[in-house]
Amino acid sequence: MSAVLHQTESTGRTAPSARRLAIPALALGGFGIGTTEFVSMGLLPNIAGALHVGEPTAGHVVSAYALGVVVGAPLIAALTARMSRRALLIGLMVAFTVGNLATVFAPSYETLMAARFVAGLPHGAYFGVAGLVAAHLAEPGKRAKAIGQVMLGLSVANVIGVPAATWLGDTFGWRTAFGVVAFIGVATVTALVRLLPRLDDMTVTNPMTELGALTRAQVWFTLLVGIVGFGGMFAFYTYVRTTLTDVSGVSTGLVPIALMLFGLGMVLGNILGGWLADRDVVRGIAIGLVLLVVVLSTFALVAGSMWLALVLVFATGVSGSVLVPALQTRLMDVADDAQTLAAALNHSALNIANAGGAWLGGVVITAGLGYRSPSVLGAGLAVAGLVVLGLALLYARARHPRSGAVPVASGVS
C-alpha cells in the first residue's frame, strides 16, 4: 500500500496506481453526500407525519441542509487554505458522519433542522477540494472528466443509495435512512485514510489569496447561473414524490424506482457533462440549461401520464447533471489562483439553488397552483439561468472586445 500513499520520488507527482485508487475513494464520499442530500426529499411525507408538520414545512429540512452547505463551503475553504488537502478531506468526512448521526437521534423538528444544517457544513468544501484533487490527478485535457468521476458518486447515490435508503425509511422509519448514511461516512473515512495519496505536490494558498475569487466578476456570474438555473431542477425534484403519486398515478411502491430513474439520468448527465465541458465549457452549461427548459416544460404538460412522467424524471436527472462538471470547471478556469474557494462556492451556489428551489416550489404549491406548478417554475428558472449566462458573455466581450470570447484561464473580472 506504500505505493498508494506516496508520491514518486523522481518527479514529486502522484504515482499512477494512486490516481486509480484515489478517485473511487473520493467518489465514495460523494455517494454518501448524495444519499443524505436527496433521500430527505423522498422521505418528506414520512418526516412530516412523524414530526406532525405539513409537507411544505418539512421541506424546510431540505433547505436547512442546503444552507449549511452555503455557509460551510466558503468558510471552510478560506480558513483551511494552508491545510493539507488530504487531511482536510478526511476531516470533512468525519464531520459529515457526525452530522448525520445527529440527524438519526434528533428528537424534534427544531433539533432535526439544526442537525441537517450541521450535516451540510462539510458538503461544499468536500466536493470543492475533491474536485481540485481529481483535476490535479487527471491526465492532460481530462480535468472535467475527472471531476465528473468524483461527482459520479453523487449520481450513483440516486441510483442505489437514495432508492435503498428511501425503502429502508419507508419500511423501518425515516431515521434508518440517515443511519445508513452515517455508515457510508465511516466507510469513506477508512477509504480516504488508506487510499488517498499525500498530495505533497498540490499547491496550498492562504485565506487572502482564496478570498480574491470574490473580486472576479466571472466567478459571480458563474455562481449566479448555478443558483438560478439549477434551482429549476430542485423546484421540481423536492416535491417529485407527491407529484408522481397524486398527479401521475404512480403507486407508493414504485416511487423508489422513479428515484432510481432520476439517479440513472444523473449518471448519464455527469458523463455527458464532463465530455462536453472538456470540449467547450460554456456550451456545456448552455446545453444543460436548454435541456432543463424543454424537459420541465414538457413534464408540466404530460404529468398526468404515468409512463411519460417517469421518462421525464429520468430526463430531468440528465439535464441537471450536465451542468455540474461544466460549472465546476468554469469556476476553476476563471478563479486564477483562488481555485479552492471558487470550487467550494460552486456547491454553495448549487445548494442555494436547492434551498431556493425547495422554498419556491413550496410557495407555488401552498398558493394552490397544484403539484404541476413546480415544473413550470423550474423551467422559468432555467430560462433565467440562460439569461445570466448570456449577460456573462456580453460582459466579457465588453471587457475584451478584440478577442470576442471569454478568456478561459486568465482570471478576468
Name the residue type at position 302: V
pLDDT at 290: 95
Whether 174 and 44 have beta carbons less than 8 Å apart is answered as: no
pLDDT at 10: 34
The helix/strand/coil state of 14 is strand
Residue 408 lies inside a defined structural domain of this protein: no
Q: Grid coordinates representing 284? A: 456545456
Number of domains, the chain: 1
Residue 406 lies inside a defined structural domain of this protein: no
Whether 387 and 113 have beta carbons less than 8 Å apart is answered as: no
Please write the tens of the pLDDT for every residue from 219-239.
Answer: 899 999 999 988 889 889 888
Q: How confident is the model at residue 242 (pLDDT cuts 50, 70, 90)?
A: confident
pLDDT at 271: 86
pLDDT at 208: 76
pLDDT at 18: 62
Using the structure block, give the residue that is written with the C-alpha cell 439561468.
385
Query: With 0-12 CB in 10 A as exposed, 13-18 as middle and 19+ as buried, what is 309?
Result: buried
Residue 82 lies inside a defined structural domain of this protein: yes
Residue 215 lies inside a defined structural domain of this protein: yes
Q: Grid coordinates representing 50? A: 412523524
* Residue 31 pLDDT exceeds 90: yes
- Residue 11's domain comprises 2-399
CA distances from 155 to 160, 269, 325 (A): 9, 9, 12
The helix/strand/coil state of 107 is coil
Residue 37 lies inside a defined structural domain of this protein: yes
Find, among 165, 190, 170, the residue nearest to 180 by Cα: 165
Range with the lowest mean pLDDT among 30-39, 75-84, 329-338, 400-409?
400-409
pLDDT at 100: 95
Please name every residue paired with 14 in a beta bridge, in sequence order, or none if there are none: 7
Residue 411 lies inside a defined structural domain of this protein: no
Residue 405 lies inside a defined structural domain of this protein: no
Find, among 34, 65, 64, the residue nearest to 185 by Cα: 34
Residue 217 lies inside a defined structural domain of this protein: yes
> pLDDT averaged over the chain?
83
Q: What is the mean pLDDT of residues 101-130?
A: 91
Quote the CA–CA distance of 217 and 222 in Å, as a whole number: 9
Phi, psi of 280 (to 5 degrees): -160, 105
* Residue 137 pLDDT exceeds 80: no
* Residue 377 pLDDT exceeds 90: yes
Q: Grid coordinates representing 124? A: 461544499
pLDDT at 113: 92
pLDDT at 331: 85
| Cβ density class 154-178: b for 16+ within 10 Å, e for less | bbbbbbebbbbbbbbbbeeebbbbb
By percentage, how much of the chain surpasses pLDDT 90? 30
Please write the tens of the pLDDT for every residue from 304-347.
Answer: 889 999 999 999 999 988 988 888 888 878 877 777 787 788 87
- Count the neighbouring beta carbons within 10 Å of the beta carbon of residue 368: 7
Q: What is the mean pLDDT of residues 279-286?
A: 89
Quote the CA–CA distance of 234 and 239 in Å, as a whole number: 9
Please write the tens of the pLDDT for every residue from 173-191.
Answer: 899 999 999 999 999 999 9
CATH number at residue 334: 1.20.1250.20
Q: Grid coordinates representing 187? A: 466507510
The residue among 13 and 118 whose pLDDT is bigger is 118
Using the structure block, give the residue that is written with the C-alpha cell 455540474.
324
Q: Grid coordinates representing 254? A: 414504485
